[in-house]
Amino acid sequence: MNESPFREFWKSCYKNGNFMVGSIMILSVIFIAIFANQIAPYSYTDIHESDILTAPCAQYIFGTDDMGRDLFSRIVFGTRITLEVAIIGAGLQLIVGVLVGLLCGYYGGAADRALTFVADLTWCIPGMIMALAVVTIIGSGLIKAIIAISIVAWAAYARMVRAKTMSIKNMAFIETGRSFGESDWSLMFRYILPNIVPILIVTVSMQLPGTILSTTTLSFLGVGSQPPSPDWGLMVAEGINFVEQGPWMAIFPGLALVYVVLGFNIMGEGLRDLLDPRMKSQ
């Protein structure tokens, strides 16, 4: 009883198996990304001309690709790209989604109706199609692919934040704040936003795996990361042509991707139990 709520929260985190397993998986990826230079035996662009398409062995534990590059090193450096996608993607979607959701939910009116319509519109166009359309316009590349995916995904955040804001803004403590002369801006960011944070975290954890998968898919299709980037989607695409001579080229990057996405998925399940008891009961 005399424990701080913070400590109590950590204790329940500790007890939540899903959250712990997922976090450890993600932390291991972050660790690899930070120490990529120390972990990888070679640079991801090093070409070993005499060792083209070598099967996994002591020297190249994941084998080499058709240009003689060490796959293990490429996958290790690829963690950086994946995390980049996760951070930039989630950041972009959050900033736009939260801002739009807060403003629409708080002020309502014509702007709200217009934005709801836009959000509905993006909702009824398949995400991949829209992302490809955006890429057609703004061009290829990793950052552009992330932007394309975020343009598709922000609506989910906006929708959620808008609904929450609308329900919170009528609560008594907002009235109290207003009577103390708080500005709209302060009410939105200092009163309403903190109350949305838990469910926002849950939403991020549920959206992130999708963002990573879609961005990698764009890379696989050739409109995301460009060679010689060690993007895992791109690496699988390169591996397809050598499925018979060097299946490891496609297998290992895909496995790495599954590991990361699964990590986020499992952590997300745990977070949902921890932060949103209402969702848990379903």
Partner 1 sequence: MRDYIIKRLLIGILLLFSVSVLVFAMLFLMPGDPVTVMAGPLAKASELEGLRHQYGLDRPIVEQYITWLSKMFHGDFGISYKYRLPVWQLLQSAIPVSLYLTIITLIIEYIVAIPLGLLCAYKKDSLFDHITVNVTLVLTAVPSFWLGVLMILVFAVKLQWLPVSGFESWQNYVLPICTGFLGGIASTLRLVKSEAIDALHEKYVVTAYAKGLKKREVLYKHVLRTSLIVVTVNVFMSVPWLISGYIVIEKIFGIPGMGNLMVESIVKQDFNVIQGTIMIITALTVLCNILSDIVLGILDPRIRISVTGGDQ
Stretch that binds partner 1, among 37-45, 86-94, 172-180, 259-267 (CB under 8 A): 259-267
Contact (Cβ atoms closer than 8 angstroms) between residue 176 and residue 50: no
**Minimum CB–partner distance for residue 243 and partner 1 (Å):** 6
Contact (Cβ atoms closer than 8 angstroms) between residue 207 and residue 93: yes
Going by C-alpha positions, the residue among 86, 93, 279, 94 that lies closest to residue 197 is 94
Q: In terms of CB distance, is 153 or 168 closer to partner 1?
A: 153
CA 193 to chain centre: 21
Query: Quick one: tokens of 208?
Result: 């992130």
Interface map 96-125 toward partner 1 (x if CB under 8 A): ---------------------x--xx--xx
For partner 1, the binding residue among 30, 87, 95, 129 (CB under 8 A) is 129
For partner 1, the binding residue among 21, 53, 99, 133 (CB under 8 A) is 133
For partner 1, the binding residue among 64, 217, 225, 229 (CB under 8 A) is 217
Going by C-alpha positions, the residue among 46, 36, 37, 40 that lies closest to residue 83 is 36
Q: In terms of CB distance, is 50 or 282 closer to partner 1?
A: 282
Determine, following the binding rule CB under 8 A, whether residue 244 of this chain makes contact with partner 1.
yes
For partner 1, the binding residue among 61, 132, 163, 201 (CB under 8 A) is 132
Contact (Cβ atoms closer than 8 angstroms) between residue 214 and residue 149: yes
**Minimum CB–partner distance for residue 221 and partner 1 (Å):** 5
CA 129 to chain centre: 19
Contact (Cβ atoms closer than 8 angstroms) between residue 51 and residue 42: no
* Window 144-183: residues binding partner 1 (CB under 8 A): none
Taken as a whole, the chain contains a residue count of: 282
Q: How many chain residues are in contact with partner 1, going by CB under 8 A?
A: 42
Query: Quick one: tokens of 227?
Result: 């060679």
Where on the phi/psi map is residue 63: left (φ > 0), alpha (ψ -120 to 50), or beta?
A: left
Beta bridge partners of 89: none
DSSP helix/strand/coil, 64 = strand
Stretch that binds partner 1, among 36-44, 73-81, 170-178, 233-241 (CB under 8 A): 233-241
Cα–Cα distance for residue pair 60/37, rounded to 1 Å? 16
Q: In terms of CB distance, is 197 or 258 closer to partner 1?
A: 258
Beta bridge partners of 64: 70
Q: In terms of CB distance, is 23 or 43 closer to partner 1?
A: 23
DSSP state letter for 271: H
Q: In terms of CB distance, is 95 or 240 closer to partner 1?
A: 240
Q: In terms of CB distance, is 129 or 171 closer to partner 1?
A: 129
Interface map 197-216 toward partner 1 (x if CB under 8 A): ------------x---x--x
What does the binding site for partner 1 look like in residue numbers (CB under 8 A)?
117, 120-121, 124-129, 132-133, 135-137, 139, 209, 213, 216-217, 220-223, 233, 236-237, 239-240, 243-244, 247, 250-251, 254, 257-258, 261-262, 265-266, 269, 282
